Amino acid sequence: MKNQVLSLFAAAALTTIASLPAMADGGGPVGFLGATTATIIDTPEGMVVDSLYGCPKKASKGLAEAFGDENGWKQQIVGALIGIPTGIVFGVPYGAFHGMHHAWTTGWDKPFSGGSFIVSDSDK
């Protein structure tokens, strides 16, 4: 009897979870749950993406341009030597805020959609 009740609750939970995207109305309790779930996923994802790719790339290119020639090999080397470590350090907090902002804006408007769980450069 206990296993039947547990199986019934598990089936009800799976059915409810599977139907959540269909009930996503862009706000209310479902929007809050979608934004909260996206925050749990997007905040660490933003930290990793922005600290290992986004900020070091932008810092290196920005420094090479500030040193005179964005396409010059000397400027690119010096920009990379300074920009990559700096981008990694400042990418962690920037990525946390970027991921959290993306989670709350996209997770609230389109809860449980594929786009609410992926932090990209298109939303900057």
The answer to whether residue 3 sits within a structural domain is no
The answer to whether residue 71 sits within a structural domain is yes
The answer to whether residue 12 sits within a structural domain is no
Pick 17 or 51 by higher pLDDT: 51
The total of structural domains in the chain comes to 1
Per-residue pLDDT band for 14 (boundaries 50, 70, 90) equals low
The answer to whether residue 8 sits within a structural domain is no
The answer to whether 41 and 96 have CB atoms below 8 angstroms apart is: no
- From the centroid of its chain, how far is CA 98? 7
Q: Write out the DSSP string of 94-106.
A: HHHHHHHHHHHHH
The answer to whether residue 4 sits within a structural domain is no
Give residue 103's domain range: 29-112
For the cut 70, the answer to whether the pLDDT of residue 9 exceeds it is no
The answer to whether 120 and 42 have CB atoms below 8 angstroms apart is: no
User: What is the average pLDDT value for the chain, to the nearest integer?
Assistant: 82
Per-residue pLDDT band for 15 (boundaries 50, 70, 90) equals low
For the cut 90, the answer to whether the pLDDT of residue 63 exceeds it is yes
The answer to whether residue 42 sits within a structural domain is yes
The answer to whether residue 16 sits within a structural domain is no
Residues 6+ apart with CB under 8 A from 87: 51, 54, 55, 56, 57, 58, 59, 60
The answer to whether residue 19 sits within a structural domain is no
